[in-house]
Amino acid sequence: MQGLDEQANDPTFQNIWQEFQWRGLVHVSTDPQALEKALTEDTLTYYIGFDPTAASLHLGHLVQLLNMRRLQLAGHRPLGLVGGSTGLIGDPRQTSERVLNSREVVAQWVESLRGQIQRFLSFEGDNAARMVNNLDWTAGLSALDFLRDIGKSFRVGTMIKKEIVAKRLNSEEGISYTEFSYQILQGMDFLELYRQYGCTLQLGGSDQWGNLTSGTELIRKVEGEHVHAMGSPLITNSDGTKFGKSEGNAIWLDPELTTPYAFYQFWLNTADADVVDRLKVFTFRTRAEIEELARLTEEEPFRRQAQKTLAYDVCSLVHGSEATDKVIAASEALFGRGDIAALDEPTLVAATAELPHAQVPAGRLPQVADLLLATQLASSKSEARRFLREGAVSVNGAKAAGEDAVVADEDLLHGRYLVLRRGKKNMALVTVQD
């Protein structure tokens, strides 16, 4: 729960449905009027499923995690489902078949994702959250029982009309029976959660709409009850590019895969055209606060106050306020507004990961001029000496003393690092190798 902002109960809104609408979190739903009424007048049990197809969740999942949290803050009861069985199958992708992972790997990923999901939920009070695993009700199910009890309620004609299935059927690779059957398994999840916990609402991304409605239709056919599904829009940048990708790599919630420093910088670099929408979707800031940040973005964009607020809030939600404060301290130190020697080693390494880098052997350290040349902060030894004479070079935040400046072992950060700066913006990292 650390880092979660409890200002989600925005008095501007009369009900959570209106808030979801204002934040742009509703792309499609089964019955908007009935769902608004249910969310306003009843306490609903709802769920979102997360498949362990990787060791960590990413930014696309974060939308759903925060949606779960918003609904819980509004008084509704969440079920966090980790797909121990659906993760063994794999949700159909747009392009090609998934590579099936081993049971051992999937089991490890189930535990990893469970820990990430739990951070965003409260397990106390009248609407305490519960974690569930669909392997619990599928592991002992025989193929005959599955076909007789569940499969008979699905029509192939309807299944092949689902958008992603239709795309795959029309592709060269086609789709296997395994992935084709995924929607049946997800539909069965909703039915099981309806029976066990009275769950009447499933949320997910709009690209999952076919799978979501498989569950609502199954419950209607088997139980004769109408339940709800809601799909949030897929997030894209204002220029049309896919959100959450950085040079082809996903932004992960696991700090081992995407460091808190890189995570914070991702949000800090949000374009002015996107930042207000990101604040609505990824923070718990109130409408009044977001409107004020929108005004500042329009009138004083150079201050980047909206981006700073966004980066701090989201990084705190995912990694905690302590890690976020360390990240900010690292940024300040790198740009000469803090003590770079005070940074712990993981934060220093993450903060300097994108800098030009040179390695030197342990022993007698070369002169600073040689280090400038090795890191390409200078194009020649004479140029390096000129920079030093002019006082334009610092080492670990301290100005280098003259053109013959040297460094000693005691100058090394954590016994192995030197951060060089030439001028205000040109920086590099030197690592001393044993």
Find out whether 216 and 183 touch, Cβ atoms under 8 Å.
no
Residues of each annotated binding site: 47, 182, 186, 245
Mean pLDDT per 10-residue run, the chain (434 residues)?
Answer: 48 83 97 96 96 94 97 97 93 82 96 97 96 95 92 90 86 87 93 98 94 95 97 88 67 94 94 97 97 97 97 97 94 84 90 91 87 94 94 92 89 93 91 87
Residue at token pair 């958008």:
163
At 162 the pLDDT is: 84
At 91 the pLDDT is: 82
Residues 396 and 402: their CA atoms lie apart, in Å, by: 16
Residues of each annotated binding site for L-tyrosine: 47, 182, 186
At 365 the pLDDT is: 83
Q: How many CA atoms lie within 13 A of 387 on its CB side?
A: 27
At 424 the pLDDT is: 84
**pTM reported for the whole predicted model:** 0.88
Residues of each annotated binding site for ATP: 245
**What is the torsional sign of CA 283, 284, 285, 291?**
positive
At 238 the pLDDT is: 83
Task: Look up residue 116 and give its amino acid.
Answer: Q
Residues 193 and 228: their CA atoms lie apart, in Å, by: 13
Domains and their CATH numbers in the chain: 16-234 (3.40.50.620), 246-352 (1.10.240.10), 357-432 (3.10.290.10)
Angle made by CA atoms 85, 44, 120, in degrees to the nearest 5: 60
At 12 the pLDDT is: 65
Give long-range contacts, CB 8 A cutoff, 24+ apart: 137-145: 137/188, 137/192, 138/85, 138/185, 138/188, 139/85
At 248 the pLDDT is: 57
